[in-house]
Structures are given as C-alpha cells and as structure tokens.
C-alpha cells in the first residue's frame, strides 16, 4: 500500500517539477523569448537546431535505398584528385553496396521464430511439471478455503460452495 502511495506522490512531484521548469525555462517563458528576439547568435543557433531537427525527421520518415552507400562513395570519390579517382580501390568503392546483417535478413521470419520459441517454452514447462504443480497449488488453495468456510459458517455451506474439492 505504501509503495503505491509513494509512486503516486513521486509521479505528482515529477509532474509539478516539470511544469515549474517549463514555466521558468521553457520556450514560452518571457525572459527567454525576449533574449532570443534580441540576440542574433541565439537566433542563429536555434535556426540551425531547427534545420537539424527537420533533417533528422526527414531521414527517419524516408528510408534510404540500399545503394545509398554506393552513391555516397561515388560523390566522395568525385572530389578526389584525378589520379586517385582511377585507382582500383576507388572503382570498387563506387560499386559497393551494404550487405544486410543476419538479423535484417531474418526479419521476415521473426513471427515464425517467436511462435516456435513460445511452443518450445510451453513444451518445456509441461515436461518439467510446472503446470501440474500449478494444479496442485490450486487444489490446495481450494481445500484451504473449504476448511475455512467449514470452520466459520458450517460444513453444509462449505460443501455447497466447493462441491468437488477434497
């Protein structure tokens, strides 16, 4: 009971703390907006930050083709001296493509692998007797409840509530 109360208190404190910090230091605070409006250096930094955020969100929303590495290498090689552009290593770099890892190759089989693992886990649990032990615990609990009712309210009511136990 104390744990739940403590968690609730902690959560409310964290929420209040977050609100206080946002009101004092958040972008909506007057002193911060006034400073940004009058400081060209901070304006540039915030603009650059916005550009980076936009670029990252675009990268996340548009997955790249597998030839991205090859295209990047081709662009990088094109700025090298002419003598370096024609060496065999540079030619190999122009045509290189990334090899998907084993995990990436097996993604399409993920649900089958997980289902197989779940079946094997159930078979293992059945083999080790976990399910039969759970049944024993349930039967023991039912018998304990029946004896409690028999002691406190009478055997006839206990037999009526728990007809198939003992």
Same domain for 9 and 52? yes
Q: Is residue 166 part of a domain?
A: no
The Cβ of residue 103 has, within 10 Å, a number of other Cβ atoms equal to 8
Cβ atoms of residues 94 and 74 within 8 Å: yes
Say whether both 2 and 56 belong to one domain.
yes
Same domain, 1 and 38: yes
Same domain, 83 and 37: no
Q: What is the pLDDT along the chain (166 residues), one digit of tens a residue?
A: 445 555 567 777 767 766 766 666 666 667 777 777 788 887 787 777 777 777 667 666 666 666 776 777 777 877 777 777 778 887 777 777 667 778 877 888 888 888 899 989 888 877 777 767 777 878 888 888 888 888 888 888 888 888 875 5
81 and 127 both lie in a single domain = no
Report if residue 152 sits inside a domain.
Answer: yes
Q: Are residues 57 and 1 in the same domain?
A: yes
Concatenating the DSSP letter of every residue in 81-140 gives -HHHHTSHHHHHHHT--PPPPHHHHTGGGHHHHHHHHHHHHHHHHHHHTHHHHHHHHHHH
> Is residue 78 located within the same domain as residue 115?
no
Against a cut of 0.85, is the pTM above it? no
């Amino acid at each position: 009971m104390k744990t739940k109360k403590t968690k609730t208190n902690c959560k409310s404190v964290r929420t209040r703390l977050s609100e206080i910090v946002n009101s004092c230091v958040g972008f909506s605070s007057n002193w911060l907006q006034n400073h940004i409006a009058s400081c060209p250096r901070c304006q540039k930094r915030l603009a650059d930050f916005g550009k980076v955020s936009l670029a990252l969100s675009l990268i996340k929303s548009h997955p790249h083709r597998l030839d991205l590495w090859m295209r990047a290498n081709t662009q990088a090689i094109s700025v090298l001296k002419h003598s370096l552009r024609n060496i065999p290593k540079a030619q190999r770099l122009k045509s290189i493509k990334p090899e998907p890892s084993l995990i990436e190759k097996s993604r399409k089989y993920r649900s089958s692998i997980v289902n197989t693992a779940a079946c094997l886990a159930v078979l293992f649990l059945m083999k080790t007797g976990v399910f039969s032990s759970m049944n024993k615990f349930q039967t023991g609990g039912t018998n304990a409840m029946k004896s409690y009712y028999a002691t406190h309210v009478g055997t006839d009511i206990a037999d009526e509530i728990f007809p198939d136990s003992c």
